[in-house]
Amino acid sequence: MERLEIWHSSTAVIGPNMQLVACPLAISLSSGVYMLAWSRKKEDVVGLKAPKKEKRVKKENRTQPPVEAPYVAPKLKIATKSPDKTVEIFDGMTLLDLSKRTGAYISTLQGILADLGEKVESEFDSINIDLAELVAMELGVNTRRMHTGEGTNEPRPAVVTVMGHVDHGKTSLLDALRQTSVAAKEAGGITQHIGAFVVEMPSGASITFLDTPGHAAFSAMRARGAAVTDIVVLVVAADDGVMPQTLEAMSHAKAANVPVVVAINKCDKSGADPERVRIQLGSEGLLLEDMGGDVQVVEISAVAKSGLDKLEEALLLQAEMMDLKARIDGPAQAFVVEARLDRGRGPLATAIVKSGTLVSGQHIVVGAEWGRIRSLRDTAGKITESAKPAMPVEIEGLRGLPMAGDDVVVVDSEERARMLSQGRKKKQEKDRLRKIDEGMADELEIKEEAPERVEMPIIVKGDVQGSVQAVTDALRSLNSAQVFVNVVHVGVGPISQHDIDLAQACGAYIVGFNIRTPPIAITQAAARANIKVLLHKVIYHLLEEMGRAIVDKAPGTAETQVSGEAEVLNIFELKGRSKSKGPDIKIAGCRITDGHFSKSGTMRLLRSGDVVFEGPCSSLKRERQDAETIEKGNDCGLVIQDCDDFQVGDVIQCLEQVIRKPKFISTQSGSVRIEC
């Protein structure tokens, strides 16, 4: 569901040490209210009101305590989190419009524009979208680019992501489909993995498949605003049925409001039972076509390559029902699905065009990187002059490596590209420092409640940028009050000596996802330095192993627990002892009815269920011999320090301190977390 965050204008509060503390008020609204907010916004624009002047807060010297009242040191206020304000910007917006959205004075905006070498005199003058972004970034405000729907919308191919449980055949299906792709046909079956490929049907229609199976990549892209997937193919193995990650995939697709087409795979196997899969999916709430719903189901075999044409037809039908259209003309808006560094060609990014046309030679800004498109290659590796909506292309000519999910923006000139990239980098750095500050503040807050929190430094290496990011995001979700998961370095490619050095310097784990086993020299160097290296191909397995390591490392919380219970059967008094032995004492003759008693434990005396005394054990004996622990079923003599109030029939509990470690929880839906 679309959500809109409205930030109430920040209220300034004077904190201790005279710092200004912003108190933002965030309200999340559903899409219904969004429409209301949007229509109001439009009225505001017509209203042409300049933003209200901020009230000046008179500064007083409040550090002096009042003369008569006792001085209580103020608690340090660390809640200085600045709001993550996001405003929508578009080409041709007026300065007044930007002022209303960012809440900054017209004169402030004019000042920033002047610094950028742009003179805008009137508040009614319109500015270019790139300038609007630069100004907003300077103000520390996030932007969301709104692209005009100008130009005719034409039908476009669907973009499809394959999801499902591990080992159900996602990779095999993608391999099989890739063999039927344009690239495979043109390149004699040899295809290059660039993050996406296109399958063309005899009718001339085509389907674009994202080549990174898995849920983490899907949600990581979506989280970054790059919602490129139109349809999800849910792969379920006919011999295994619905499994945790099948359900997880269903919830991901549902959350993203993306329709599903079910591919029941491995139908060639003798144990295949597609009917059972149908019933299972139906009972999980998926409204299958054969049961009166609209979710199509196709029986396939990725290995025997059967049913693939039916799957492609089902996808085309689904796309037709969705009436997918996009603007073809004008500047392109695209998203990166994968990026890698090529030794000879430099940074390469595979992007899928969302609308408009990307043309070779254009200046672009991709995330915080920029460049001029030196060449565009289609999925067959052939140079192409331009790319239209839903078409994946490999972009060459960037100055740095962008990240999966980054947006591709076309700009007018090299200077503009450079400025935008610099601005974005500066903003990213500012945001990063702010997050560290907030993290430290959070940690301070946590420290007040739970004094110990240890750090788990991790280095993440992966085959492609998309998976590195997905693994990093997933690992961060294992953060808890006791262990701070600190991803200190990420990178694409094999584990290098540099990674080993870094891991040694900060005591980090190295996590390798989908990369080849490091050479023996690196493995030996890691072993010598006692560095743990984890290599996995399945993100879920990786998280499970890291989860266990995190739990091991967690300091745990001390908890008092009843280790045993005893009943008082007799009372013995030791009277008239010599001074050296101490005063009179009462001994409780007990039978341990449950658990065990330890001398080091604390004893709790209960009468009719009420606690009458609690204190340390000063003597624990079994058959007149001192004992450290005594098990259930045995009789013992027990003295509680400073307690002489025993009665026959009382119950004594032995309390012990135990360290309780956090729990690694993996849910039915395949998600994981650490619970303290």
Q: Contact positions toward ligand GDP, by CB under 6 A?
A: 164, 166-172, 213, 265-266, 268-269, 301-303
3-class DSSP state for residue 41?
helix
- The distance of closest approach from Cβ of residue 265 to ligand GDP in the complex, given in angstroms and rounded to an integer, is 5
Running DSSP on this structure, what letter comes out for residue 469?
Answer: H
- The distance of closest approach from Cβ of residue 314 to ligand GDP in the complex, given in angstroms and rounded to an integer, is 17
3-class DSSP state for residue 114?
helix
Q: Which of 459, 465, 463, 650 is nearest to 566 (CA)?
A: 650
Q: Name, in order, each residue with C-beta under 8 angstroms of 180's C-beta and a sequence gap of 6 or more.
A: 199, 308, 312
**Nearer of residues 253 and 408 to ligand GDP, judged by Cβ:** 253
- The distance of closest approach from Cβ of residue 513 to ligand GDP in the complex, given in angstroms and rounded to an integer, is 14
Cα-Cα-Cα-Cα dihedral sign, residues 149, 150, 155, 158: negative
User: Based on the number of CB atoms within 10 Å of its own CB, is 670 exposed (0-12), middle (13-18) or buried (19 or more)?
Assistant: buried
List the Cα angle 212/424/2 in 5-degree steps: 60
**Nearer of residues 104 and 236 to ligand GDP, judged by Cβ:** 236
**Nearer of residues 170 and 215 to ligand GDP, judged by Cβ:** 170
**Nearer of residues 249 and 481 to ligand GDP, judged by Cβ:** 249
Distances (CA, A) of 457 to 433, 454, 506, 521: 18, 10, 7, 23
Structure tokens at 151: 């130009």
Instruction: Please state, in angstroms and rounded to a whole number, the distance separating the CA atoms of residues 248 and 258.
Output: 14
Helix (H) or strand (E) holding 423: helix 414-449
**Nearer of residues 172 and 421 to ligand GDP, judged by Cβ:** 172
Q: CB neighbours (10 Å) of residue 361?
A: 12
**Nearer of residues 447 and 541 to ligand GDP, judged by Cβ:** 541
- The distance of closest approach from Cβ of residue 245 to ligand GDP in the complex, given in angstroms and rounded to an integer, is 9
- The distance of closest approach from Cβ of residue 181 to ligand GDP in the complex, given in angstroms and rounded to an integer, is 17
3-class DSSP state for residue 671?
coil
The amino acid at 634: N
**Nearer of residues 267 and 587 to ligand GDP, judged by Cβ:** 267
- The distance of closest approach from Cβ of residue 474 to ligand GDP in the complex, given in angstroms and rounded to an integer, is 16
Instruction: Please state, in angstroms and rounded to a whole number, the distance separating the CA atoms of residues 75 and 412.
Output: 52
Structure tokens at 82: 């600045």
- The distance of closest approach from Cβ of residue 178 to ligand GDP in the complex, given in angstroms and rounded to an integer, is 12
**Burial letters 527-537, b for 16+ CB under 10 A, else e:** eeeebbbebbe
DSSP assignment of 129-182 = HHHHHHHHHHTT-EEEEEPP--S-EEE--EEEEEEESTTSSHHHHHHHHHHTSH
The separation between CA 27 and the C-alpha centre of its own chain, rounded to angstroms, equals: 22
**Nearer of residues 386 and 669 to ligand GDP, judged by Cβ:** 669
Q: Count CA within 13 A, CB hemisphere, residue 504.
A: 13
- The distance of closest approach from Cβ of residue 166 to ligand GDP in the complex, given in angstroms and rounded to an integer, is 5
**Nearer of residues 145 and 269 to ligand GDP, judged by Cβ:** 269
**Nearer of residues 213 and 367 to ligand GDP, judged by Cβ:** 213
Running DSSP on this structure, what letter comes out for residue 396?
Answer: E
CB 467 within 8 Å of CB 538: no
- The distance of closest approach from Cβ of residue 299 to ligand GDP in the complex, given in angstroms and rounded to an integer, is 10
DSSP assignment of 194-246 = SSEEEEE-TTS-EEEEES--SHHHHHHHHHTT----SEEEEEEETTT-S-HHH
- The distance of closest approach from Cβ of residue 274 to ligand GDP in the complex, given in angstroms and rounded to an integer, is 12
- The closest residue (CB) to ligand GDP is 169
- The distance of closest approach from Cβ of residue 303 to ligand GDP in the complex, given in angstroms and rounded to an integer, is 4
**Nearer of residues 135 and 539 to ligand GDP, judged by Cβ:** 539
Give me the phi and psi of 543, to 5 degrees please: -65, -35
Distances (CA, A) of 178 to 200, 211, 282, 339: 11, 9, 30, 19
**Nearer of residues 195 and 347 to ligand GDP, judged by Cβ:** 195
- The distance of closest approach from Cβ of residue 215 to ligand GDP in the complex, given in angstroms and rounded to an integer, is 11
Q: Which residue has the tokens 């807050």?
A: 445
Structure tokens at 553: 């490392």
Instruction: Please state, in angstroms and rounded to a whole number, the distance separating the CA atoms of residues 364 and 407.
Output: 10
- The distance of closest approach from Cβ of residue 246 to ligand GDP in the complex, given in angstroms and rounded to an integer, is 11
**Nearer of residues 540 and 646 to ligand GDP, judged by Cβ:** 540
**Nearer of residues 301 and 482 to ligand GDP, judged by Cβ:** 301
- The distance of closest approach from Cβ of residue 300 to ligand GDP in the complex, given in angstroms and rounded to an integer, is 7
**Nearer of residues 235 and 348 to ligand GDP, judged by Cβ:** 235
3-class DSSP state for residue 349?
strand
- The distance of closest approach from Cβ of residue 252 to ligand GDP in the complex, given in angstroms and rounded to an integer, is 15
CA-only gyration radius of the chain, Å: 33
